[in-house]
Copies of this chain bind each other. A is one copy, B any other.
Amino acid sequence: MEWTVWAAVERVAPELVRAMEHRVRVMQRIDAHAPIGRRALAQAMGQSERTLRTELEYLKQLGLVAASSSGVSLTPEGKALLGELEPLVAEIAGRSDLAWRVSSFLRIPRVIVVEGDADEDTWVTDRIGQAGSDVLSDVLQDGDIIAVTGGTTVAAVAKSMSAKPLRQRITVVPARGTVGEIVAYQANTIASELAAKLGGSSVLLQISDSLSQKALEQLLDDPYIQERLPIIRQATVVVHGVGDALAMARRRHATEEEIRLLQAREAKAEAFGHYFNAQGEVVYAMRTIGLRLDDVARARVVIAVAGGQRKAQAIASVANAYRIDVLVTDEGAARRILQLETPAGKERVEHGSEGWH
């Protein structure tokens, strides 16, 4: 298969490609377990019985599967077709396996790996955003408070979130004050956009993240802050990007001294105003206003979105630092992560499926 064309197809019609991949997976699973019951299959695929049923009915109409009293199986035709789809199957299985291995390696229950490398193709970030917004829609509950950080990847999540009628009461808040100059990638902007898409409200935090110690303390007494901060810190869902330590430090206009310090302490990642080394230990903390690490620990769901192999080390670091429930990343980062040294003294834990949608 000429992957150039295929990659282009994925960009033109990602939902269709995903639907196709799903269908192939269903067929794979049927082939492996045939004959298998509809309900068992649905559970294995992590979807409702009814939706699977629709799919099966269609496949049946195409003459690719047949149902008997003991369950559904592939027809000879379906089997032959699955063989012809080998290259595609390999690709899907490969990415699924990748997700599984990253999940084990980082001890993150749910890992989603999209195709490509964000460092090489900027549009990969969009696909991470799509996958991220799907996950977010999936986990959202009524009354949730979503905290979002800044960054291009989180911005992509908000961008690709489909507008929903306001059925749930959702509040979106920025995890922290403002970092960087590009407004579109600031937490405030993203929170506002996401709230609009979800039909919820947003509580913004119009302060700079790089204030003097003194100014910060003054702010903490301010009614404006005192009113908003508690809401932010009660976030139930956290969607955050992961930054490379030095890159983030420079973006924040850190002093040369600070940068030297971070280098000396081998800081690898930045998140929520904290710098972490490879082992996930906090090596430097900025005194800022916003979501703290212990707030993150209290959140119901913590979603990390980050792609590109340059982010691999940073992702691994934060995975050691605090609980991450869902990681949405790309192939570039995933492969690089697996090349990193295994963190010593940490045993593997159970993990769930990497999840289809």
Q: Return the contact of A20 from the options B12, B61, B159 (Cβ within 8 A).
A: B12
Which residue on chain B has the smallest CB distance to residue A159? B61
Q: Tell me the complex Cα distance, A160–B24, Å.
A: 21
Binding site for B on A (CB under 8 A): 1-2, 4-5, 7-9, 11-14, 16, 19-20, 23-24, 27, 61-64, 77, 81, 84-85, 87-88, 123, 126, 159-160
Interface of A is mostly: helix
Known contacts A2-B1, A16-B19; A9 and B88 CB within 8 A of each other? yes
Asked if A4 and B63 make an inter-chain contact with CB atoms under 8 angstroms apart, the answer reads: no
Known contacts A5-B1, A16-B16, A62-B126; A11 and B159 CB within 8 A of each other? no
- Chain B nearest CB from A165 CB (Å) reads 16
Residues from chain B with a CB closer than 8 A to the CB of A14 are: 62
Q: Return the contact of A63 from the options B1, B24, B126 (Cβ within 8 A).
A: B126
- Chain B nearest CB from A124 CB (Å) reads 13
- Chain B nearest CB from A36 CB (Å) reads 18
Q: Return the contact of A5 from the options B12, B19, B87 (Cβ within 8 A).
A: B87
Q: Tell me the complex Cα distance, A237–B85, Å.
A: 39
Q: Tell me the complex Cα distance, A58–B78, Å.
A: 32
Q: Return the contact of A2 from the options B2, B123, B159 (Cβ within 8 A).
A: B2
- Chain B nearest CB from A227 CB (Å) reads 35
- Chain B nearest CB from A74 CB (Å) reads 11
Q: Tell me the complex Cα distance, A14–B61, Å.
A: 12
Asked if A123 and B16 make an inter-chain contact with CB atoms under 8 angstroms apart, the answer reads: no
Residues from chain B with a CB closer than 8 A to the CB of A8 are: 81, 84-85
